[in-house]
Structure 1
Amino acid sequence: MNLASIHFYPIKSTTGHDVPEIEVQPWGLAGDRRYLVTGEQGELVTAREEPRLLACVARLDDAGTLTLTGPHAAPLRVVPTTERSLIKVGRTPVELTDCGDDAARWLSALLGRQVRLMWLDDPTRRPVNPEYARPDDRVSLADGYPLLLTSSASLARLNDWIAEGAVERGEEVPAPLSMRRFRPNVVIDGVGTPFAEDAWRRVRIGSVEFRVTKGCDRCVLTTVDPDTHTKGKEPIRTLSKYRRWEGKVWFGVNLIPDGPGRIAQGDSVTIL
């Protein structure tokens, strides 16, 4: 097995980037999900309810400066303030730094509602769910865990199921879903059996070892086309048929790194 691709997302729920190699930090991939968008009451805003967030492309330069680009306005260089607020991320209130009025206006114009951009300046602030983690484990602003792993074999099987379902219903067979729907950090090729990753407990990618904490339960964001930003029924409809238990549907597994390191496309992947 080998590491087929690497992806990171500077702002939660915005367009991701494919990179040939990247640093693994204790709380996730370098630069991954250190920013998020909030509403007028300080609530988390994601592409689940605001699919147009996917039209935002956020880029980090070598100095860590964030620049926003989108279809509605000129690019904007983000300059964080010193003002901090407690924002509830998942179940945990986390102290985040406000990124200023210019970033707020830029994103508000994109979404057509008042929002602000917030930054996790200190990634050691947010603990991982203790039910699946050690006391010193930390995570950035991802939904719950530092990394998400998926496999090409599992996506291929899912697309087969979707095609079979369309035929059974007398519908046109849709184009295969892209892995972009699932917003993984690492995608593995060469897995012999679809969904074999469900049973993994530890994995080494290159020289970096990870704990596999739990499967990833999927939400409505997977039904949003990352290019058109329109919603459909797949893959939730098909996952509900084949991959539903505990009242949720599942695709991919969550990882916690056991230490820092660097991973690159083509790295060997070993189940430990």
Structure 2
Amino acid sequence: MPTVSQLLLYPIKSCAGISVDAAVLHESGLAAQGVHDREWMVVTETGQFLTQREHPRMALIRPRPDGDTLRVSAPGMDDLVLPLAWRDDAPSSRVRVWDDEVEAADCGAAAGAWFTRALGLEGITPCRLARFRRDVVRPTSVKWTNGVPSQTRFADGYPLLLIGQPSLDDVNLRMRAAGRAALPMDRFRPNIVIDGLEAFEEDYVGALRTIAPAGEVVEFKPVKPCARCPIPSIDQATGIPGPDPLVIMQSFRANARLEGAVCMGMNCIVTEGAGGELRVGQALDGEIAF
């Protein structure tokens, strides 16, 4: 029987994640300790989002909830402290995530200057920090959901990314056989890690469900394979890119449904019980859908 082995949130898109023992499963993704997954995003002054693809040092920016604030640290920098309380009068800005443009809250000049310095972009690309607005809905594509609507915040495309621990174990067997070092799970930046399946069996799961502590049924459904970008080549502890694991994974994880893209993990949507809680160690019921 599959069980939840890790729950992870990334409060600031493309920055370091936080591991939690329990999280609330919202339609737009996980939330815990007063923060939502991908609730904040670093952007240029024109609103274009920034990621580790171009700025691997983002891996070294570490947000952590601290009471009623989000404390953000980076090497050689004083911490940036962001209030968690929502400001209805926060100035708005238009920001872009891939093909989507949404209204966001701008976190101010001081926060923007902090991220500009942390990324070494002074005199190159001034940054701003955007926060997802509570009154905004960013719908996901229904192309892969059989028409079922969903929503997300600043994630690339869907509210959840699911990976099975046996899948990473299989990848690492092949990495070692090729003379390469094993990869930690954080290279693939999942939200939910599960154990108890065969390697890559999450690719074929129709839905996963459980009973939340309050007694309600909670269900999430894998809908689209996750095509991987170069981020798995970046050491999340150092921010330094290394050999690209996708070169090796190409031989066994290329997906014809996504034009040969190397895939690892499944994007998911919440189909029942939004607002229910998931916990590490929780058992899940699953069904295989071929």
Please give the TM-score of this superposition, normalised by the length of structure 1. 0.91
CA contact (8 A) 1:127 1:135 kept: no
Are 1:181 and 2:187 an aligned pair? Answer: yes
Letter in 2 for 1:86: R
Q: Deviations over 1:10-39 (max 9, x none)?
A: 000111011011111110001110110112
**Aligned mate of 1:130, from 120, 127, 142:** 142
Question: Are residues 83 and 148 of structure 1, via their aligned partners in 2, closer, same or farther at CA, if it must alter by over 3 Å?
Answer: same
Q: Deviations over 1:131-177 (max 9, x none)?
A: 124564211111111110001110011011111222xxxxxxx3310
Partner of 2:215 in structure 1? none
Letter in 1 for 2:11: P
Measure the CA separation in 1 of the matches of 2:66 and 2:210: 26
CA contact (8 A) 1:159 1:177 kept: yes
More strand by proportion, 1 or 2?
Answer: 2
Matched residues, number: 263
CA contact (8 A) 1:10 1:60 kept: no
Are 1:76 and 2:80 an aligned pair? Answer: yes
Partner of 2:46 in structure 1? 41
Letter in 2 for 1:196: E
CA contact (8 A) 2:226 2:266 kept: yes
**Aligned mate of 2:116, from 87, 92, 108:** 108
Q: Matched residue of 1:44: which SS?
A: coil
Partner of 1:254 in structure 2? 267
Q: Matched residue of 1:201: which SS?
A: strand
State the Cα distance separating 1:62 from its structure 2 match: 4.9
Letter in 2 for 1:45: L
Unaligned runs of 5+ in 1: 167-173
Question: Are residues 230 and 2 of structure 1, via their aligned partners in 2, closer, same or farther at CA, if it must alter by over 3 Å?
Answer: same
Question: Are residues 178 and 199 of structure 1, via their aligned partners in 2, closer, same or farther at CA, if it must alter by over 3 Å?
Answer: same
Measure the CA separation in 2 of the matches of 1:214 and 1:239: 18
CA contact (8 A) 2:8 2:18 kept: yes
Measure the CA separation in 1 of the matches of 2:42 and 2:160: 20
Partner of 1:19 in structure 2? 20
Partner of 2:70 in structure 1? 66
Letter in 2 for 1:262: E
CA contact (8 A) 1:97 1:119 kept: yes
CA contact (8 A) 1:27 1:123 kept: no
Unaligned runs of 5+ in 2: 213-217
Measure the CA separation in 2 of the matches of 1:176 and 1:89: 31
Percent identity between matched residues is 34
Partner of 1:237 in structure 2? 247
Letter in 2 for 1:129: S
Greater mean deviation of Cα atoms: 129-138 or 21-30: 129-138
**Aligned mate of 1:118, from 122, 127, 130:** 130
